[in-house]
Amino acid sequence: MKKINYIRLGTLTVLISVMGCAATSNSNNPLSTVDRGLSTIESAAQSSRQVLDAGTAAASTTSINQIGLVDILVHRLNISPQQALGGAGAIFQMAQGSMNPQAFATLSKSVPGMDSMLNAAPAMSNLSGGLSSLMGDKNNKLGNVTALAASFQQLNLSPDMVSQFIPIVTNYVSKTSGQATANLFQSALTAR
């Protein structure tokens, strides 16, 4: 719609300019006055468009830290903020169990809202804990996936959402914590 208006304004300006030049170059001619007025309006419109374009560019470069992991998950996965908070918390909780405490502390400091996410994570059910122990130690990959799936079900999320959450959370960790911490985090999620 705006583009059409700019095109119409530009076409009108060209038409009046041609008519003004053909009529006379007299500055008192009404067409010359209209031509100058339209040129001023067109110039103002272009300046306004540049301001809007600059504002859009600034908004698109907003730091990932300002947006927040929960907002990203809500937007990309079309889930509620509570589901995003709890799901991310469950993933961080699982990583916490497999990571060196100092490495997890570093991760925690670089992810805004970590405590809220961990607190929103559902408690691991006895079923997932029992399955994990049947499959080996707590660092068993299949046991971790089972525990996460059970946590996601408690949040009314399908278990297959785990595979959609993990890349988003890992990418976020990479942006906020750096690649080295993201690698440790990813290793913790796939620990055997």
Q: What is the pLDDT of residue 132?
A: 43
Q: What is the pLDDT of residue 141?
A: 60
Per-residue pLDDT tens over the stretch 30-48: 566 555 655 655 555 555 4
Rounded Cα–Cα distance for residues 104 and 109 (Å): 9
% of residues, the chain, pLDDT over 90 = 47
Mean pLDDT on 122-137: 51
Q: Which residue, chain included where needed, has tokens 């076409």?
A: 11
pTM, full prediction: 0.60
